[in-house]
């Protein structure tokens, strides 16, 4: 029998009534279900203990077991997910996220669940504007405040989930944070897709992190078009072997794409001689030899398209930039991917350390070695639940639910 028990996150079932979601996961054959906070489906500010009693009764009447409470990072603002984070500069902002995690502890206590998970959040533009403030210290302080909500006599553990682009992005960073916090009630939550995105040798990283991990997220992923967005600055030295670079010029709010195949300037108006010289210098520094194209920014399509989910997921992972800069980059991403034109890039946009796209695919539909990942985790000593998290597949939830179980159950059965 595999040491990894299969579970499914309700974050991928948000079109259903919550109790119906429990039934759907149970019917599909999963051993566990992740209870994920959601503004419309399972909102801890709207539900009371009587409703939690009804949830507990439904779980007790089914075979499926609630295995973790996920205090969803998308909870507060759908347009600015992960905000405010546990390391927001303003105390009131941090307290909003701390309060949400504490509500997760309360839900876990009522439902008999012993794991509560969250992420660190991103370095944002206000962090960049205040380098005198240590975001890591804010994060540690916030986690310790959350831990104080757990009683000494109860078996509840808080988990940190490293995520592409976040302050805690790699498993090594997650393990270092465990040492800083220094509590046996604070451990690691591994997302296998995130490891594929962020680790140069993800199978070895999984094996090494397994002893401190108490929970998994499972999804598939594939290679993308790695693109970084940065402000222009004097020391900018793009490495196009790692990623193409979209340079933002703060004084004019236009952009330059440094890419070996498609160097493009997206101007708002005719560039000055000084800007032309700067663009030429950046092209030379990046080793771009193709002729520069010019696409007026005002000509870009800025409306809705089928690419919206992909581009939104990409943009929110970009640290250190304001949302206004990221929103202005959105039509450029659409142009590259073919929102209303022939695409220049045939792969999904990515902002990761490996070029793998942080976009959760149904297990078996990407290029991640799931069997090897399970084997590496078990070799490292992991035992526990692994929840399929497919929030990009809410519309096709039934197929995602069934196909995931079929593929993962076969992997478990082979080992």
Residue 260 and residue 279: Cα distance in Å, rounded? 14
Please tell me whether residue 376 adopts helix, strand or coil conformation: helix
Residue 3 and residue 385: Cα distance in Å, rounded? 8
Contact in structure between 370 and 408 (CB atoms under 8 Å): yes
pLDDT per residue over 279-305, tens digit each? 999 999 999 999 999 999 999 999 999
Residue 73 has pLDDT above 80, yes or no: no
pLDDT for the residue numbered 336? 98
Residue 1 has pLDDT above 80, yes or no: no
Pairing between β-strand 349-350 and β-strand 254-258 as defined by DSSP bridges: unpaired
Question: Of 410, 407, 362, 391, which Cα lies nearest the Cα of 41?
Answer: 391
Pairing between β-strand 213-218 and β-strand 157-160 as defined by DSSP bridges: unpaired
- Domains of the chain in start order, with CATH, are 4-221+360-414 (3.20.20.150), 225-350 (no CATH)
Residue 145 and residue 118: Cα distance in Å, rounded? 14
Strand partners, 217: 191, 387
Contact in structure between 193 and 151 (CB atoms under 8 Å): no
Mean pLDDT of the chain: 96
Residue 414 has pLDDT above 70, yes or no: no
Residue 377 has pLDDT above 60, yes or no: yes
pLDDT for the residue numbered 81? 87
């Amino acid at each position: 029998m595999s040491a990894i028990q299969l579970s499914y996150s309700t974050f991928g079932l948000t079109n259903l009534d919550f109790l119906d979601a429990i039934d759907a996961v149970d019917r599909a054959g999963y051993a566990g279900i992740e209870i994920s906070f959601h503004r419309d489906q399972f909102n801890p500010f709207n539900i009371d203990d009587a409703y939690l009693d009804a949830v507990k009764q439904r779980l007790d009447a089914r075979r499926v077991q609630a295995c973790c409470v996920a205090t969803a990072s998308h909870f507060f603002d759908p347009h600015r997910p992960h905000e405010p984070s546990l390391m927001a500069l303003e105390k009131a902002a941090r307290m909003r996220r701390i309060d949400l995690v504490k509500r997760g502890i309360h839900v876990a206590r009522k439902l008999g669940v012993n794991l509560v998970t969250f992420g660190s959040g991103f370095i944002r533009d206000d962090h960049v504007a205040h380098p005198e403030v240590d975001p890591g210290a804010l994060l540690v302080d916030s986690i310790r405040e959350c831990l104080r909500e757990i009683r000494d006599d109860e078996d509840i553990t808080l988990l940190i989930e490293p995520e592409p682009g976040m302050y805690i992005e790699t498993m090594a960073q997650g393990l270092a944070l465990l040492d800083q916090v220094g509590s046996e009630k604070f451990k690691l939550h591994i997302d296998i897709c995130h490891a594929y995105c962020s680790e140069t040798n993800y199978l070895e990283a999984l094996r090494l992190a397994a002893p401190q991990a108490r929970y998994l997220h499972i999804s598939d992923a594939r290679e993308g078009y790695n693109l970084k967005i940065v402000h222009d600055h004097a020391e900018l030295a793009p490495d196009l072997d790692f990623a193409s670079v979209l340079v933002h010029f703060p004084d004019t709010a236009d952009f330059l794409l440094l890419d070996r195949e498609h160097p493009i300037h997206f101007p708002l108006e005719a560039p000055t001689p000084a800007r032309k010289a700067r663009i030429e210098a950046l092209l030379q520094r990046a080793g771009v030899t193709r002729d520069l194209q010019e696409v007026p920014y005002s000509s870009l399509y800025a409306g809705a398209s089928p690419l919206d989910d992909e581009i939104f997921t990409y943009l929110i992972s970009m640290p250190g930039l304001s949302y206004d800069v990221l929103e202005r980059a959105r039509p450029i991403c659409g142009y590259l991917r073919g929102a209303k034109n022939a695409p220049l890039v045939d792969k999904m946009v990515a902002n990761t350390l490996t070029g793998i796209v942080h976009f959760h695919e149904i297990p078996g539909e990407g290029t991640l070695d799931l069997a090897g990942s399970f084997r590496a985790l078990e070799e490292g000593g992991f035992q526990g639940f692994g929840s399929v998290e497919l929030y990009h597949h809410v519309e096709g939830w039934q197929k995602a639910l069934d196909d995931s179980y079929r593929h993962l159950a076969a992997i478990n059965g082979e080992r």
